[in-house]
Structure 1
Amino acid sequence: MTWHRRSLAGLDFETTGTNPEMDRIVTAAVVRYGGGRPTETCRWVADPGVTIPAGATAVHGYTTEAARAAGRPAGQVVAEILDAVVALVDQGLPLVVMNAPFDLTLLEAEAERHGLRGLFGRVAPRVLDPLVLDKQVDRYRAGSRRLESLCRHYIVRLDTAHDCGEDAIAACGVVWKLANRHRWLTRVPLEELHERQARWAVDQQESLRQHFARSPGREHLALTVRPGWPVTPRMRPGVPPGE
């Protein structure tokens, strides 16, 4: 039985912002998807301990006050998320994470912030990133590669984008559809596929950096492209991204 016929684990966060090293988890979901069994979803709301900017609230709907009222202490939530992911990875499930370097770098930073052992210090997850996989198998397709766009392309249901539970399930659905369409992926062992994605991601990130560098008015964005997959290396103080 190929890996895409077995269950997949999925992970998704909604956060206080877009810096994975500095921003915090607001909502989280860990799912078990496929494999001939009903989808199981675990959800969390955290009090991030910081103000949630209006821009982030506009994306996921949680104000600072709402997160404080509904959420539990961030350290407890991060510990439970780590335990849930480790439990699924220990069962041999691959971990599906859309744009993995953001969510997994964020999770490692949150673990360190709360004095917890990070995910990669506990297990060696075999990560499947629908963004990296899609870019590799269909690299010249024009248009957005956001999750909503991938769902439209692969005909995967996503009723409420930026709901972490629905996003995690949809990302798993995209990986399943993508693997079913490009069957050669299912013949690659998960360990090898993880390593291939690391190489593909570096090439994709460098291509994006070059694209920005030669685009008038967007040259500054080249410095925001950070290499590394499935986590990005910690930035050194005073050193711009990409150096």
Structure 2
Amino acid sequence: MTLWRIRATVDDRPGYLSVLTASLALRGVNILAVQVHTTEAGAVDDFLVDAPDTLDEAELVAAVERGRGRDCWVARSEARGLADQPTRALGLATRLVRDPEDTGGALRALLGADEVAWLPTRVAGGIDGTTMQLPDPAGGSYRLRRAAPSYTPAEYARAQALVELAATAARRAADHVTLVLPDGAELLVRPATADDLAGVRELHEGCSARTRQRRYFVGAALPSPARLRRLLEPAEG
């Protein structure tokens, strides 16, 4: 038996996917995994299959077409294709949180791209056959290319989510700075959050009444907890 990837467009109507799978089954093809991408042209079905060694690419395409599939693409696959796709995506996300600079490598692994390039100019995002353009939230854009098959809107959405995650992770990493004091001690400097409310109140308690009055212009009393929370979580971010 040989592993293959098959992608084909099927009319998004009841029973059409069943006809396609039945046509493959008649040739002894076992479907191991399937993903469905919704497009304007119909449902693009992405199969990972185990087929008899005697079947070649042309025979698989013919089986798909007999099952009412069209725009068929077939290619040999590897055992790693058996990996659970959501688990694989989460693994790539974890990798990006640890190393946001590896966005290009993560995109290549996610979509099987042959080429991933970062461009300094920001362009409108979208897909054009086997080329994908992705705006980078940090500036610039990514261009992805592969020989086949064409990208789908679902793949674009996945790539966009990965790029946004990388940008968020990079911002968080930039916000955390470690300072080395003269005595050699390390001090972590980071943006305050709502979890720091008690510490911020303690900081205000350590200030003189005159200092608090000059800061808030409304008297020397301690700011209310609600006001301190607004300080940590501004309405406009």
TM category (shorter chain) comes to under 0.3
Q: Which has the larger radius of gyration?
A: 2
**Larger RCO of the pair (alpha carbons < 8 Å, separation 6+):** 1
Higher relative strand content: 2
Question: TM (normalized to structure 2)?
Answer: 0.25
**Which of the pair is proportionally richer in helix?**
1
